[in-house]
Amino acid sequence: MYMDIKKLKKAAQIYGTPLYVYDLSVIDRQLKKFKVAFNKINNYQIHFAAKALSNISILKYINSLGLGLDAVSIEEVKIGIRCGFKKEEILFTPNGVNFSEIREAVSLGVKINLDSVESLKDFSNSYPNQPVSIRINPGVYAGGNENISVGHLNSKFGIPEERLDEILEMELDKKIKVTTLHIHTGSDIIKDNDFQLGIKKIFSIAHNFNNIETIDLGGGIKIPYFEGDTETDLDNYAKIIKDELKKFKSKKGKDLKLIFEPGKFLVSDSGYFITKVNYLKKSNKNTFVQVDSGFNHFVRPTLYKSFHDIINLSNPNDEKFEYSVVGYICEKDTFAEKRKISKISSGDILCFRNSGAYGFSMTSNYNSRLKPSELCIHNNEIKEIRKREEFDDLLYGQIDIF
Ligand SMILES: Cc1ncc(COP(=O)(O)O)c(C=O)c1O
């Protein structure tokens, strides 16, 4: 878990705080790691989950690595096309959107992944017997937090197994043609067994679909958040999949193609969220470190109770003390509670690790605060890839009627 402290400090000095910095070499490293684990599986495509990090420079970089795109909104589809992704390598996976959005995606030429019988019926009326992907609810409770466990029976996502007969009937009547089956059970999937349950389920369902060509296994790979933290055993993951592909081939005589949709795995560790300490406030038994940001800029700790290692870039090697690092938002706004960090003084620069995924992409202007800038480190150079917002950006689009 290497990080270039000098470079990150320099970025903060030049561009100010708060800001996000992404080290593109970490994306290369992660992609290589994936390819090594899956080297015995030849027919697969990686679709980066755009929702994790959608800055156009990052998406263009990822496109240059030969990846496709997982898009969940028509806007992500359009950004993907703008960034040069091939239309046939963009899979649009909406959830509960108006059918007009699906129609627009079809007209843009991207692939469609539907997750309800209701939307499939509309699809078959407009585009009878056209290839389509369907998202299955595998009935597996997986993921690091209830908000990101999306494949269980009570989840709004995916088509439940009990409704598959309706789909098979539509296919028999040549109303639809299911060529891809998709699952995404959750993010930060800790137990390898949960992956296994999902994979076994989707392959067993695939036997019923005669036009099936591709299985899309979604994202969810767990990455370590600190030294010694658990992570998905990629070799085991690949082995489980390989066994299922083999079984499918021997029963149906067909080689299936695979799609993976990693978000966090590719970009989480590439990102650093950097803030400056305003005050150290002593209160009862706490020492609150008050930084120049809040959950408006980095919501994961609040939303998911996610853990992010915090490094004091100004004083990384000093004795450690216990601090609660908090933001400036007018609600509970805690980045870390009673965390041991090397001695902090006001004016120090703090860096939150593993901020590349669902960091900037989940920012808001809550409390009428401006969004931070984004930088990347590429070939050892620091480059700005999004300007810090200015006051006028906050007013943009508002209509003063008085
Ligand atoms: C459909 C789909 N695919 C892929 C992902 C990426 O997940 P992760 O970042 O855990 O890899 C998500 C995340 O929510 C998703 O909804």
Share of the chain above pLDDT 90, in %: 88
Q: What is the pLDDT of residues 36-84, one digit of tens each?
A: 999 999 899 999 999 999 999 999 999 999 999 999 999 999 999 999 9
User: Distances from the Cα of 233 to the Cαs of 118, 123, 189, 196, in angstroms?
Assistant: 37, 38, 11, 12
Backbone angles phi, psi at 242, to 5 degrees: -60, -45
Average pLDDT over residues 287-314: 97
Average pLDDT over residues 188-213: 88
Average pLDDT over residues 121-137: 96
Q: Atom 9 in ligand 1: which residue has the minimum CA distance? A: 263
- Residue 105: the pLDDT is 98
Share of the chain above pLDDT 70, in %: 98
* pLDDT(141) > 80: no
Confidence of residue 150 (pLDDT cuts 50, 70, 90): confident
- Residue 187: the pLDDT is 74
Residue with tokens 């299936």: 256
- Residue 143: the pLDDT is 66
* pLDDT(376) > 70: yes
Return the ligand 1 atom nearest residue 188 CA.
10
Q: Which residues are catalytic?
A: 330
Return the ligand 1 atom nearest residue 72 CA.
1
Q: How far, in Å, CA of 341 to CA of 317, rounded?
A: 9
* pLDDT(339) > 80: yes
Return the ligand 1 atom nearest residue 357 CA.
9
Compute the distance from residue 148 Cα to the ligand 1 centre, in Å.
Answer: 9
Average pLDDT over residues 304-309: 94
18 prior amide bond cis, ω within 30: yes
- Residue 231: the pLDDT is 92
Average pLDDT over residues 341-351: 98
- Residue 247: the pLDDT is 96
CA 260 to chain centre: 12
- Residue 7: the pLDDT is 93
Average pLDDT over residues 170-177: 95
Q: Atom 16 in ligand 1: which residue has the minimum CA distance? A: 184
- Of 47, 53, 70, 181, best ligand 1 pocket probe by most atoms within 8 Å of the beta carbon: 70
Q: How far, in Å, CA of 379 to CA of 377, rounded?
A: 7
Q: Give the chain's mean pLDDT.
A: 94
Return the ligand 1 atom nearest residue 262 CA.
11
Q: Atom 14 in ligand 1: which residue has the minimum CA distance? A: 187
* pLDDT(189) > 80: no
| Beta carbons within 8 Å of 137's beta carbon, 6+ residues apart | 115, 151, 152, 153, 155, 157, 158, 159, 160, 161
| Beta carbons within 8 Å of 395's beta carbon, 6+ residues apart | none
- Of 148, 183, 187, 264, best ligand 1 pocket probe by most atoms within 8 Å of the beta carbon: 187
Structure tokens at 139: 């009935």
- Residue 139: the pLDDT is 78
- Residue 154: the pLDDT is 81
Nearest to 72 by CA among 200, 201, 182, 171: 182
Q: Atom 7 in ligand 1: which residue has the minimum CA distance? A: 219
Q: What is the pLDDT of residues 89-114, one digit of tens each?
A: 999 999 999 999 999 999 999 999 99
Q: What is the pLDDT of residues 266-281, one digit of tens each?
A: 999 999 999 999 999 9
Backbone angles phi, psi at 121, to 5 degrees: -65, -45
Backbone angles phi, psi at 389, to 5 degrees: -65, 155
Compute the distance from residue 253 Cα to the ligand 1 centre, in Å.
Answer: 31
- Of 73, 112, 261, 270, best ligand 1 pocket probe by most atoms within 8 Å of the beta carbon: 261
Compute the distance from residue 94 Cα to the ligand 1 centre, in Å.
Answer: 12
Compute the distance from residue 16 Cα to the ligand 1 centre, in Å.
Answer: 31
Compute the distance from residue 72 Cα to the ligand 1 centre, in Å.
Answer: 10
Domains of the chain, each with CATH number or no CATH: 25-267 (3.20.20.10), 268-387 (2.40.37.10)
Residues contacting ligand 1 via CB (< 6 Å): 49, 52, 70, 93, 184, 187, 218-221, 261-265, 357
* pLDDT(246) > 70: yes
23-27, 186-190, 230-234, 344-348: lowest mean pLDDT where?
186-190
- Residue 153: the pLDDT is 78
Average pLDDT over residues 299-320: 96
* pLDDT(192) > 90: no
Confidence of residue 148 (pLDDT cuts 50, 70, 90): low
Compute the distance from residue 200 Cα to the ligand 1 centre, in Å.
Answer: 19
Compute the distance from residue 173 Cα to the ligand 1 centre, in Å.
Answer: 33
Backbone angles phi, psi at 320, to 5 degrees: -95, 140
